[in-house]
């Protein structure tokens, strides 16, 4: 998923964010604004989930399923 694609449609939201957590996230992500911090954190989360799924699919593709094909016939 490309970050520019997912940022094309936006909705304003009112959320409560702990100040300490925002400051820590800004430091960790190297962002200056609350909006940039939240966007970067969300993009990072989606990217990480996509990478984990890809890793799991690559691992699953290594299984030898030829011996099971005849069991289903």
- Percent of the chain whose predicted confidence (pLDDT) is above 90: 64
Lowest mean pLDDT among 5-9, 30-34, 58-62: 5-9
- Percent of the chain whose predicted confidence (pLDDT) is above 70: 82
Domain map of the chain by residue range? 20-61
The mean per-residue pLDDT over the stretch 52-72 comes to 82
Q: With H, G, I as helix, E, B as strand and everything else as coil, classify residue 38.
A: helix
Q: Is the pLDDT of residue 56 over 80?
A: yes
Q: Is the pLDDT of residue 3 over 60?
A: no
Q: Name the DSSP class of 37.
A: H
The residues near 37 (Cβ < 8 Å, ≥ 6 apart) are: 22, 25, 26, 29, 31
The residue with tokens 């989930």 is 49
């Amino acid at each position: 998923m490309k970050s520019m694609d997912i940022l094309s449609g936006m909705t304003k939201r009112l959320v409560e964010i702990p100040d300490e957590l925002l400051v820590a996230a800004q430091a960790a992500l190297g962002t200056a604004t609350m909006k940039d911090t939240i966007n970067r954190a969300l993009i990072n989360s989606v990217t990480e989930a996509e990478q984990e799924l890809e890793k799991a699919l690559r691992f699953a593709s290594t299984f030898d399923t030829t011996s099971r094909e005849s069991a289903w016939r």
